[in-house]
Amino acid sequence: MSPPVRGTARGRPSPAPSLGGLLASKEIVVACGPGGVGKTTTAAAAAATAAVRSGGRVLVLTVDPARRLADALGVKGIGNEAVRVPPQAFAAAGVQPKGELWAAMLDTKQSWDDLVRRHAPDARTREQILANPLYRNISARFVQSHDYIAMERLYELHAEGCYDLLVVDTPPSRNALDFLDAPARMADFFSSRLLRWLIVPYRSRLVNVASRPFYQVADRILGSQFLSDIAEFFILFQSMYDGFVTRAKAVERLLADRRTSFLVVSTLEPTPLREAETFVGALEARGLHLGALVLNKVLPPFLLDPAGAQAAEAFVRDHERLAKALAGELPGIPKAQAAQLARVLQTVGRSFSDYRLVAEREQEQRAELSRAPEVLVSVPSVDRDVVDLAGLLALGERLWPR
């Protein structure tokens, strides 16, 4: 089922492959990749830029924004409620957006509760599940549950059909692939024989549970309260299996839908890059659409300019002569400080050359990418943390050059 499409260009293929084309033609863009590379920042920057340039209603669903970024977007604490980033915030950043930017932060607990409310067969079961201690622990703490619920929430938002574009940040997990598999795993779990086997002794009141060796041991280790919580949890949950399985499969289908695309974010450091490449392969293997690879926090391209290298070499080679000529000419640097100035010039020249070497190495790594997608974007590292709309939009200019 497809929600009403309000945008202008959505659904149409883009003329030239660019991140802008991707954002304009897809309904869901999922930012994923290794930890700490800039997924949350990239998702927010892409969404803000799409709202400014393509228009329509754009929602960024964040998972773990830095506090100041959350403040800048206006998302107050966790809560599934989407808030509109006020037009004044854009005005303060000096732009007039064509569309609207909305932001929401994933609330795992709340989303699980909503899911239970939707699938519980009756009010009594619903309240029992929500009050069950095991359920409360699982829904609030399990990282795996975080993975699933992020995708589930995405499904829900998409089905509501209130937005032209959803840009989704993904949870930090040990393995970036976890969330891709989360819906299938959830479906497997609820249809698993293990689960059915677990609850059998509890369902049948005729069986004396405590007499079974497994439960005797478990009882001693975990305590009987814990065991009965588990049993209650599974028995209650059983009433929702079908709903859950159907739902998890629908979520999985949505990820594979042609309206959905993935944005893999990485830095050019060896470990994240390797992980990102694995991830790109995994997307391919699952038939999911890889929209773009964003190489974040790369060194700026001016480091590769041969003229820069020559200037740096001149600094190193002629530092004494240059210092003599410059001292007395630069404000605050008298002729007597020529020796210090010479050392500064030499050091600057050397570190420029060092940076240049790293930039060359980065360029080689980019060229060696075994699975380069159609859209490959490099975003330089900026001087300060990206914590406001102006910073996001500046990053957006790099993601989606004019």
Ligand X SMILES: Nc1ncnc2c1ncn2[C@@H]1O[C@H](COP(=O)(O)OP(=O)(O)O)[C@@H](O)[C@H]1O
Answer for which of 19, 32, 37, 341 binds ligand X (CB under 6 A) is 37
Minimum distance between the CB of residue 394 and ligand X, rounded to whole angstroms? 9
Cα 75-136-236 angle, rounded to 5 deg: 125
Q: Which of 339, 351, 381, 401 binds ligand X (CB under 6 A)?
A: 381
Burial of 187 (0-12, 13-18, 19+ CB in 10 A): buried
In 3-state terms, what secondary structure has residue 145? helix
What is the enclosing helix (H) or strand (E) of 263?
A: strand 260-266
What is the rounded distance in angstroms from the CA atom of residue 362 to the CA atom of residue 14?
Answer: 29
Choose among Mg ion, ligand X, none what residue 230 binds, the Cβ cut-off being 5 to 8 Å by kind.
none
Stretch that binds ligand X, among 282-290, 305-313, 316-324, 378-386 (CB under 6 A): 378-386
Q: Residues 386, 392, 393, 399: which binds ligand X (CB under 6 A)?
A: 386
Range in contact with ligand X (rule: CB under 6 A) among 2-10, 33-41, 202-210, 252-260? 33-41
Q: What is the rounded distance in angstroms from the CA atom of residue 392 to the CA atom of residue 253? A: 31
Residue of 34, 29, 30 whose CA lies nearest to 173: 34
Binding mask 34-53 for Mg ion (x = CB under 5 A): -----xx-------------
Instruction: Please say which residue, 64 or 219, places its beta carbon nearer to Mg ion.
Output: 64
Residues in contact with ligand X, counted by CB under 6 A, come to a total of: 17
- Among Mg ion, ligand X, none, residue 79 binds (CB under 5-8 Å by kind): none
Beta bridge partners of 295: 266, 378
- Segment contacting ligand X by CB under 6 A, of 114-122, 154-162, 246-254, 374-382: 374-382
Q: Where do runs of H (alpha helix) occur along 55-142?
A: 67-73, 87-92, 108-119, 123-131, 133-141
**Window 66-85: contact mask with ligand X (x via CB under 6 A):** x-------------------
With CB under 5 to 8 Å by kind, the binding choice for 38 among ligand X, Mg ion, none is ligand X
**Where is 59: in which H helix or E strand?**
strand 57-62
Q: Which of Mg ion, ligand X, none has residue 382 at its interface (CB below 5 to 8 Å by kind)?
A: ligand X
Q: What angle do CA 176, 77, 69 make, to 5 degrees?
A: 65
Nearest approach in angstroms of CB 59 to ligand X is 17
Residues 322 and 342: their CA atoms lie apart, in Å, by 7
Select 231 or 273, whichever has its Cβ closest to Mg ion: 273
- Cβ pair 97, 110 in contact under 8 A: no
Q: How far is the CB of 146 from ligand X (least distance, A)?
A: 14
36 binds ligand X (CB under 6 A): yes
Q: Does 41 bind ligand X (CB under 6 A)?
A: yes
Residue 348 CB, shortest distance to ligand X, in Å, is: 22
Nearest to 135 by CA among 271, 240, 60: 240
Q: For residues 39 and 53, which CB has a smaller minimum distance to Mg ion in the complex?
A: 39
